[in-house]
Amino acid sequence: MARQQIELRPEEAAALRRRVRAGTASVRDRRRSEIILLSAEGLTQQQIAERMGISRLQVNRWVGRFARQRLAGLSDAPGRGRKPWLADGAAQHVLEQGTPRLKPPGSG
């Protein structure tokens, strides 16, 4: 399979390097950024997969998303993760009410 050519703009390369080094970035963000940096260095998807201990399919997914959407493609797609358990606006309503009371007044 032909390697998809990734050419990074200087600001993209800097942003990706920042993500890889950031202690506060999630492991997923660091891994995705590293995949793109290694691809831009000319490594094949198989080489990247072996070096990082992941599947070639994962490498292919992130390289393809980056090629189509650039840095925005490395973010999680909407709808992923746990669904909210509060009704719309419930959290905002609680925040607007101020500090919640643990016991009703006069309960002892």
- List per-residue pLDDT tens for the chain, 108 residues long: 456 778 899 999 999 999 999 988 889 999 999 999 999 999 999 999 999 999 999 999 999 999 999 998 888 877 767 777 777 787 787 778 766 666 766 776
- Rounded to 5 degrees, what angle do the CA atoms 12, 26, 81 make? 110
Phi and psi for 63 in degrees, rounded to 5?
Answer: -65, -40
CB 74, CB 28: distance < 8 Å: no
The confidence score (pLDDT) of residue 1 equals 47
Of 33, 35, 45, the C-alpha closest to 4 is 45
91 vs 7: CA distance, rounded Å:
43
57 vs 69: CA distance, rounded Å:
18
